[in-house]
């Protein structure tokens, strides 16, 4: 099995040329973020990912997390790696300086987090959930809650979880039945069971801070009656020191297709008198608060799609360069060649390479927009950037994870029969990737959010602004008279028009026939992802061409950007018109059969 080599040159290109690292560095609070500092961070993170986390990826998959008498034991090496991770300050990278964080922008932390996910997805899930819990407490917790929990969560001394669903609920959080009973001292006693809790129990940290959705006695039915509570594994005593064990226990861990080293727990609250919890924010606004965590997690899971695509591509490329099989096509009696010479293998590798670059760039652009939405001094600009982030989060999550699955599948295919053998490691990437389209909201949930809340509700205003930015490239592409740029211009123009047509259909018909429009939700998400990725690939090609014009010494790297963008235009953007037709005309066939005829 191959190890992981961080694609720092590609990351740096995406951050500087496309996501606007220089602009991010000019935002209030980011003044110390220089290109030199970012390079140093990427290099050091790359060493940690390659030397510490990547070697544990395969062994962690084989050993898995284990439950014994209510305690979860992590695979060999994970505890030492986590201590190293925390002591090196990696968990605090994006945390608020007020509570011990380093305050670096999301653009920088996104690139670093991609490395953690590529090198060891199962390990990376622990800081992912902790980060979401930190953000929820930061934005909605009381001053006392912030003081008690944030410093040790930001440092990584303590970890965090999100406890949403239950056996009877699934994705329908209106069906949550966990109870929160007032205790008279300002605290509550929590009773219920939560499932699918990532890192709900483990031995990496001394305390786990659970954020739990529950209902108070007089809460209304449905999602309007859900509150959010902070429920630590160990209660806090005087001076917030660790006290008694709380009444929350792991009763089982799931046996999963992949991410075996990430414990997915069933947690029982209140089996021995009630778990002590404290209300976060206002009563009955828990789901609203939990979406703070959800949106952070959805972006992070989208990065998992990018990261696993990169890992699968690296492994497939390495195998294709070494595996000798067959002669070069069209050469009779020639010598045996490595399979990278075969046209279909090259096609598959280019599918992997081009889409990984497109997904990475889109994610980094969204991360930079998030930084502007939080930090920009102009209120209108903050609002505009936040609208862009809100529109693109379901795309980053849904399109990147679906595409990451496809790329992991191609990685197995490039290996041929050896890809089906666990020892090569290609199968692990495919198994690990499969969950990414499901947790933190399935692709269908992301797509319904996209067409409903992000397009129909605002009558397409934000997506029209995004399409205008993509159309603005037309003149620049036209000015580059080469055949590659003409092909990009044509394909991007058709893709943008396809999105415009499909979005217009959604806006015009959503209120009158939501079922018909919803049939095309996932095809529309895929359409928007492909075209948004094509927009970024065209920008990458233009940036590469400008640098080549100046005699940049990285000529081979930059020429590869031009070829990759051309490939994306010919093989991916050409799918856009067909997807638009599915969105607009696909409902009758999907909805016509009565249930008994299936």
Lowest mean pLDDT among 103-107, 116-120, 289-293, 540-544: 289-293
For 338, the enclosing helix (H) or strand (E) is: strand 336-338
Per-residue pLDDT of 296-327, as tens digits, reads 899 999 999 999 999 999 999 999 999 999 99
Res. 292 pLDDT band, cuts 50 70 90: confident
Lowest mean pLDDT among 44-48, 292-296, 483-487, 543-547: 292-296
Q: What is the pLDDT of residue 547?
A: 97
CA atoms of 415 and 419, how far apart (whole Å): 5
Enclosing domain of residue 486: 442-591
For residue 586, being part of any structural domain is answered with yes
Catalytic, out of 17, 166, 304, 440: 440
In SS3 terms, 97-117 reads as HHHCCCCCCHHHHHHHHHHHH
Range 47-52, long-range pairs (CB < 8 A, 24+ positions): 48/84, 48/85, 48/88, 48/90, 48/115, 49/4, 49/6, 49/115, 49/116, 49/118, 49/119, 49/120, 50/3, 50/4, 50/5, 50/6, 50/119, 52/81, 52/84, 52/85
For residue 545, being part of any structural domain is answered with yes
Contact 179, 215 (CB under 8 A): yes
Statement: residue 136 has pLDDT above 80: yes
For residue 39, being part of any structural domain is answered with no
With a CB cutoff of 8 Å and minimum separation 6, the contacts of 233 are: 201, 207, 208, 209, 210, 245, 246, 248
> How many domains would you assign to the chain?
1
For residue 314, being part of any structural domain is answered with no
Q: What is the pLDDT of residue 482?
A: 81
The SS3 assignment for 552 reads coil
Q: What is the pLDDT of residue 1?
A: 63
For residue 193, being part of any structural domain is answered with no
Q: What is the pLDDT of residue 173?
A: 72
- Interhelix angle 521-549/483-509, rounded to 10 degrees, is 150
pLDDT above 90 covers a percentage of the chain that reads: 91
CA atoms of 137 and 98, how far apart (whole Å): 14
Lowest mean pLDDT among 172-176, 333-337, 362-366, 540-544: 172-176
Residue 592 CA: distances (Å) to CA of 63, 410, 595: 48, 34, 9
Per-residue pLDDT of 139-156, as tens digits, reads 899 999 999 999 999 999
440 is catalytic: yes
Res. 530 pLDDT band, cuts 50 70 90: very high
Lowest mean pLDDT among 15-19, 47-51, 195-199, 481-485: 481-485
Statement: residue 197 has pLDDT above 90: yes
């Amino acid at each position: 099995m191959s190890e992981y080599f961080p694609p720092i040159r590609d990351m740096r290109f995406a951050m500087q040329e496309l996501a606007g690292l220089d602009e991010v560095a000019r935002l209030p609070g980011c003044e110390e973020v220089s290109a030199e500092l970012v390079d140093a961070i990427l290099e050091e993170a790359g060493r940690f990912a390659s030397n510490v986390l990547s070697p544990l990826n395969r062994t962690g998959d084989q050993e898995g997390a284990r439950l014994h008498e209510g305690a979860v034991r992590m695979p060999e090496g994970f505890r030492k790696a986590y201590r190293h991770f925390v002591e090196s300050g990696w968990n605090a990278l994006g945390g608020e300086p007020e509570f011990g964080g380093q305050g670096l922008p999301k653009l920088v932390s996104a690139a670093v987090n991609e490395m953690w996910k590529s090198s060891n997805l199962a390990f990376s899930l622990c800081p992912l959930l902790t980060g979401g819990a930190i953000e929820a407490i930061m934005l909605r917790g009381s001053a006392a809650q912030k003081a008690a929990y944030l410093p040790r969560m930001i440092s990584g001394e303590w970890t965090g979880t999100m406890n949403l669903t239950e056996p009877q609920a699934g994705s329908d959080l209106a069906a949550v039945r966990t109870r929160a009973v007032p205790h008279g001292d300002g605290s509550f006693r929590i009773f219920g069971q939560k499932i699918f809790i990532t890192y709900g129990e483990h031995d990496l940290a001394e305390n786990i801070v659970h954020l739990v959705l529950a209902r108070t006695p007089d809460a209304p039915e449905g999602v309007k009656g859900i509150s959010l509570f902070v429920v630590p594994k160990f209660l806090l005593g005087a001076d917030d020191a660790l006290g008694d064990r709380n009444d929350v226990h792991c009763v089982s861990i799931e046996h999963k297709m992949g991410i075996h080293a990430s414990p997915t727990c069933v947690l029982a609250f209140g089996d021995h008198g009630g778990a002590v919890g404290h209300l976060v924010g206002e009563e009955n606004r828990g789901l609203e608060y939990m979406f703070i965590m959800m949106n952070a997690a959805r972006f992070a899971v989208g990065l998992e799609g990018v990261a696993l695509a990169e890992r699968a591509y690296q492994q497939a490329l390495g195998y294709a360069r070494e595996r000798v099989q067959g002669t070069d096509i069209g050469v009779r009696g020639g010598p045996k060649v490595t399979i990278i010479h075969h046209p279909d293998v090259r096609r598959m590798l280019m599918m992997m390479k081009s889409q990984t670059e497109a997904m990475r760039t889109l994610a980094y652009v969204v991360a930079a927009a998030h930084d502007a939405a939080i930090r920009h001094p102009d209120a209108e600009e903050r609002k505009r950037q936040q609208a862009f982030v809100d529109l693109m989060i379901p795309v980053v999550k849904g399109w990147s994870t679906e595409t990451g699955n496809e790329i992991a599948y191609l990685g197995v295919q490039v290996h041929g029969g050896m890809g089906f053998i666990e020892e090569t490691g290609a199968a692990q990437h495919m198994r690990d990737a499969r969950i990414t389209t499901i947790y933190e909201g399935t692709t269908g949930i992301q797509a319904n959010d996209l067409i409903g809340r992000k397009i129909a509700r605002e009558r397409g205003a934000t997506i029209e602004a995004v399409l205008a930015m993509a159309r603005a490239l037309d003149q620049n592409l036209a000015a580059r008279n080469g055949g590659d740029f003409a092909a990009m211009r044509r394909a991007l123009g058709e893709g943008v028009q396809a999105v415009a047509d499909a979005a217009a259909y959604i806006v015009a018909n959503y209120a009158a026939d939501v079922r018909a429009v919803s049939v095309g939700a996932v095809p529309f998400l895929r359409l928007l992802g492909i075209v948004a990725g094509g927009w970024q690939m065209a920008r990458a090609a233009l940036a590469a061409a400008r640098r080549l014009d100046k005699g940049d010494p990285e000529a081979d790297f930059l020429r590869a950007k031009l070829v990759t963008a051309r490939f994306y235009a010919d093989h991916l953007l050409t799918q856009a018109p067909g997807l638009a037709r599915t969105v607009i005309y696909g409902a009758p066939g999907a909805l016509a059969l009565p249930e008994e005829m299936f």
